[in-house]
Amino acid sequence: MTERQEDILKFINDFINRNGFPPSYREIGNHFNIKSTFGVKRHLDALIKKGFIQMSDKSNRSISLTDKSYSLFDRVRETNATEIPILGRVAAGYPVFAEENIEGTLVIDSSLIRGSEKLFGLKVRGDSMIEDGIFEGDTVIVKSQNKAMNNDIIIAMLDNDTTVKRYRNTNSKIELIPANKNYQPIPVSSKNDFSIIGKVVGVYRLYN
Amino acid sequence: MTERQEDILKFINDFINRNGFPPSYREIGNHFNIKSTFGVKRHLDALIKKGFIQMSDKSNRSISLTDKSYSLFDRVRETNATEIPILGRVAAGYPVFAEENIEGTLVIDSSLIRGSEKLFGLKVRGDSMIEDGIFEGDTVIVKSQNKAMNNDIIIAMLDNDTTVKRYRNTNSKIELIPANKNYQPIPVSSKNDFSIIGKVVGVYRLYN
DNA sequence: TGACATAGTGTACATATTTTCACTATATTT
DNA sequence: AAATATAGTGAAAATATGTACACTATGTCA
């Protein structure tokens, strides 16, 4: 299979997944800037000959993928989406991923997870980060880690309370910075019970 | 749904399962001994109206089942994740889902798609909606529709330019309201070329 | 170099498919 | 009895789709 043919096969697969029915020659041609339907036809004829697709005579839009090409894509598709848990609350001293905390799941693209990262979702309470576009009710996507860089948006546990803030560490003086001018930066001293739960890597919001 | 319509819906489902692509009007007619394609058409129109199937204009063999009918058949889709296209730009006069516009895909939970809704992603340009938590570079999830209710956040086409704004229609006077006090509401007059592309149903943001 | 496979254009044509219109028929409801 | 929803016919026009042919271009292989 040539690269061109593979691209076209992939496009057909995507098209069917997206629309529920296969593309016409012209739709394929438009996508690849092939101006003549005959140019498309020859690619499809090649794909048929090699056993990746099949078409029924005497009807239009009849391309369907064979098992041979499904096996080609299935591996990709399986690793394409990952479910991460949405946690209701994160309590101090308890493991973050404890089952009883899980309120639901969120589907994300697998490419967001690099290596062995642990991601989870968390519903945002309060309006302390609205100037960073994180609103009450939003779900933040959090990468589980216990360290942070300056200016990271983090999920922190401060005296038994979970909070979303920006992290700042200047001269070993740690502050949690809200993104809302009605709130003051929160200084963290050694008297506080403080730990970093994770770093916010994404935000997800749904309107009704 | 009448018994006849249910039989036809069932046949379409079977046909797709068997062939991988939907049947034509004549193929449906042959199976049920309906001699005129118009007779078939009216059944399909009824099924569309009742939300069991969807068809795209301007193309043949484009019947696909909605979630509503999937739940009827007790048939679960392979995963509960759905890929929606991320569109680079939406040009006036062109179909929104034209393949050449697709820049990538976004994985969302299938439950977000109700019935025959068409969703797509769109990258946000500009800062006119920051007070609503929609920032430059965010991807908005858009439900394709050409009408809107007051206060909906919409994707609109105004004089060949795509824009995200809140929709307001008071006494037939249409305005597009930014969520940024540095910008003024945009009045829409009959002199403008104006159309609604869709309604924003979600926001997705990734931090590096 | 010549033979060959891949890739694309443009036109014309044949066929498949959907849409539209006018008309009939049968139940059910008001 | 009249109105309404469902179901169907037959023919036509409009559109979408696939096929065929002659031609060009480019890279690879022997």
Mutation target vs B (from A75, A107, A166, A167; most B CBs, 10 A cutoff)? A107
| Closest CA-bearing residue to C1' of C10 | A36
Q: CA nearest A155: which of A112, A201, A115, A116?
A: A201
Strand partners, B169: B174
**What is the longest distance spanned by two Cα atoms in chain A?**
79
CA of A63 to C1' of C12 (A): 25
**CB proximity B20 to A under 8 Å:** yes
- Whole-number pLDDT of residue B132: 94
State the amino acid at position A185 in one-letter form: P
Give B130-185 pLDDT, tens digit per residue.
Answer: 999 999 989 999 988 888 889 999 999 888 788 899 999 988 899 999 999 999 99
Give A102-158 pLDDT, tens digit per residue.
Answer: 777 788 876 676 666 788 899 888 899 999 999 998 999 999 888 899 999 999 988
Q: For the beta carbon of residue A149, count every other beta carbon within 10 angstroms.
A: 9
Note which residues in 52-91 of chain A have CB less than 8 A from chain B: 56, 59-65, 80-81
Contacts of residue B79, Cβ cutoff 8 Å, sequence gap at least 6: A81, B110
DSSP string, A159-205: TTEEEEEEEEEETTEEEEE-SSTTS--EEE-TTS-EEEEEEEEEEEE
- In order along its 208 residues, chain B shows pLDDT tens digits of 788 898 899 889 888 877 888 999 999 998 899 999 999 999 999 998 888 888 887 788 999 888 678 767 644 334 467 778 888 665 555 555 554 566 777 888 766 766 557 788 998 888 999 999 999 989 999 988 888 889 999 999 888 788 899 999 988 899 999 999 999 999 999 888 898 888 999 999 999 7
Burial of B77 (0-12, 13-18, 19+ CB in 10 A): exposed
Res A75 pLDDT > 50: no
Q: CA nearest B70: which of B62, B80, B85, B60?
A: B80
Res A174 pLDDT > 90: yes
Note which residues in 35-54 of chain A have CB less than 8 A from chain B: none
Contacts of residue A7, Cβ cutoff 8 Å, sequence gap at least 6: A32
Chain A residue with Cα closest to B199: A207
- Whole-number pLDDT of residue B181: 93
- Whole-number pLDDT of residue A43: 92
A99: left (phi over 0), alpha (psi -120 to 50) or beta: alpha
Burial of A105 (0-12, 13-18, 19+ CB in 10 A): middle
CA of B43 to C1' of C30 (A): 26
Contacts of residue B124, Cβ cutoff 8 Å, sequence gap at least 6: B134, B135, B136, B137, B138, B139, B140, B164
Indicate which residue of A165, A173, A195, A199 is catalytic. A165
Question: What does the block give as tokens for A166?
Answer: 């920006």
**CB proximity A19 to B under 8 Å:** yes
Whole-angstrom distance, CA of residue B110 vs CA of residue B107: 9
